[in-house]
């Protein structure tokens, strides 16, 4: 494409209008840039493609993924790659995974995929792996070590012994607040692999981990949770700069635990509200930004979106492309040592005591 575009015009194309030129996204880069190590990728997640019957799929979810793919293809300069963050399917069926894979195939940039629980629990990832390859892996790109985890596993007892059919197992895990579900985990086998994988990486190499569930404990009732999060975090602790980017929660979250920065991504399908909106009292959840407006049910894309991720010297800035809402940018602030929402960080957070 054109070489007249700088990162600033990429951000303008991201829908982050005018004001963004003055935001730390570019300032961080100016201050710390090693231009050869800075790059951009796109992150699309949680499409939940849902089969109805025959050739019919839920139109709303189809349109969300189609639109994100078309918009990611307009990124200028093009992204180095596109991550898909899991839950391509709703109930893990071949028609759903095939239909979703067909839409993702229209991406111009190389695609990498994360496993979600909605992709997994029908056939334990068998068909997904035929389409997309290994369920956990690592790769290096422009000085950054990327790790993709399958974080939505759970106990063998729940997975293999509890449900009479694979279909019922899938349905039980597909419910957001279903008490019959089971906490997600990365599991011992993958943690052993991760330890060996990271042993080859120098401690000053930036590490970016992609998982579907948050590798932190947010809210067990909705499985915004990874049961062995502390053990995974311990493996990441020796590194200077670590970023974990996760899907699953269908909302914007960010957090810092020690050296690890956490960022969530939006869904293209539908938004979840924030667990704290039920609390009616002071909460000690990881810091969430101000809640999004309630989605307007008329505009099916409202409160969904996708993101463009700048990697600046090993730190990530996420520019959220949000429909019917102002674009938002959440990026690492080196002075504060944690991610901040560029526009909304200063907005005071009051506990929500409203009961409807």
- Interface residue list for other proteins (CB under 8 A): 1-2, 4-5, 9, 12-15, 17, 59-60, 63, 66-67, 69-71, 73-74, 76, 298-302, 321-324, 327
Closest approach of Cβ 295 to other proteins, in Å?
10
Which residue lies nearer to other proteins by CB, 28 or 75?
75
Closest approach of Cβ 126 to other proteins, in Å?
31
Which residue lies nearer to other proteins by CB, 63 or 217?
63
Which residue lies nearer to other proteins by CB, 1 or 348?
1
Which residue lies nearer to other proteins by CB, 22 or 31?
22
Closest approach of Cβ 16 to other proteins, in Å?
8
Closest approach of Cβ 298 to other proteins, in Å?
4
Quote the CA–CA distance of 51 and 59 in Å, as a whole number. 10
Q: What is the dihedral of CA 65, 70, 75, 79, to 10 degrees?
A: 60
Which residue lies nearer to other proteins by CB, 115 or 319?
319
Which residue lies nearer to other proteins by CB, 66 or 171?
66
Closest approach of Cβ 42 to other proteins, in Å?
12
Closest approach of Cβ 313 to other proteins, in Å?
26
Closest approach of Cβ 68 to other proteins, in Å?
9
Quote the CA–CA distance of 114 and 132 in Å, as a whole number. 9
Closest approach of Cβ 219 to other proteins, in Å?
27
Beta bridge partners of 60: none
Query: 317 with 43: CB under 8 angstroms?
Result: no
Closest approach of Cβ 309 to other proteins, in Å?
16
Which residue lies nearer to other proteins by CB, 193 or 270?
270
Which one, of 125, 119, 78, 116, lies nearest residue 99 by Cα? Answer: 119
∠ Cα 127 130 132 (to 5°): 105
Closest approach of Cβ 106 to other proteins, in Å?
9
Which residue lies nearer to other proteins by CB, 67 or 145?
67
Neighbours of 176 (CB within 10 A): 11
Quote the CA–CA distance of 89 and 87 in Å, as a whole number. 5
Residue 131: CB partners within 8 Å, gap ≥ 6? 97, 98, 101
Which residue lies nearer to other proteins by CB, 116 or 305?
305
Which residue lies nearer to other proteins by CB, 179 or 297?
297
Residue 341: CB partners within 8 Å, gap ≥ 6? 252, 254, 289, 328, 329, 330
């Amino acid at each position: 494409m054109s070489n007249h575009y700088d990162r600033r015009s990429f951000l303008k194309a991201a829908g982050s209008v005018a004001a963004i030129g003055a935001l730390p996204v570019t300032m961080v880069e100016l201050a710390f840039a090693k231009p050869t190590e800075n790059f951009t990728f796109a992150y699309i997640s949680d499409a939940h493609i849902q089969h109805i019957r025959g050739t019919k799929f839920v139109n709303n979810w189809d349109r969300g993924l189609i639109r994100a793919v078309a918009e990611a293809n307009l990124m200028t300069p093009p992204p180095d790659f596109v991550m898909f963050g899991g839950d391509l399917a709703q109930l893990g069926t071949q028609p759903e995974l095939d239909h979703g894979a067909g839409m993702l195939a229209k991406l111009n940039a190389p695609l990498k995929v994360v496993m979600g629980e909605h992709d997994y629990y029908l056939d334990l990832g068998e068909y997904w792996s035929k389409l997309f390859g290994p369920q956990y892996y690592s790769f290096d790109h422009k000085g950054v070590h990327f790790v993709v985890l399958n974080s939505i596993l759970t106990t063998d007892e729940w997975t293999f012994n509890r449900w009479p059919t694979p279909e019922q197992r899938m349905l039980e895990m597909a419910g957001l607040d279903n008490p019959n579900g089971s906490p997600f985990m990365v599991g011992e086998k993958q943690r052993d692999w991760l330890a060996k994988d990271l042993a080859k990486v120098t401690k000053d190499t930036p590490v970016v981990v992609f998982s579907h569930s948050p590798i932190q404990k947010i809210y067990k009732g909705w499985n915004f949770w990874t049961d062995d999060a502390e053990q995974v975090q311990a493996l990441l602790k020796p590194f200077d700069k670590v970023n974990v980017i996760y899907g699953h929660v269908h909302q914007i979250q960010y957090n810092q635990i020690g050296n690890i920065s956490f960022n969530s991504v939006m869904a293209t399908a539908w938004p979840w509200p924030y667990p704290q909106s039920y609390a009616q009292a002071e909460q000690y959840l990881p810091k969430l930004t101000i809640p999004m407006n309630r989605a307007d049910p008329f505009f099916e894309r409202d409160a969904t979106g996708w993101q463009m991720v700048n990697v600046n010297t090993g730190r990530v800035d996420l520019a959220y492309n949000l429909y019917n809402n102002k674009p938002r940018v959440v990026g690492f602030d080196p002075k504060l040592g944690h991610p901040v929402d560029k526009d909304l960080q200063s907005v005071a957070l009051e506990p929500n005591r409203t009961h409807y």
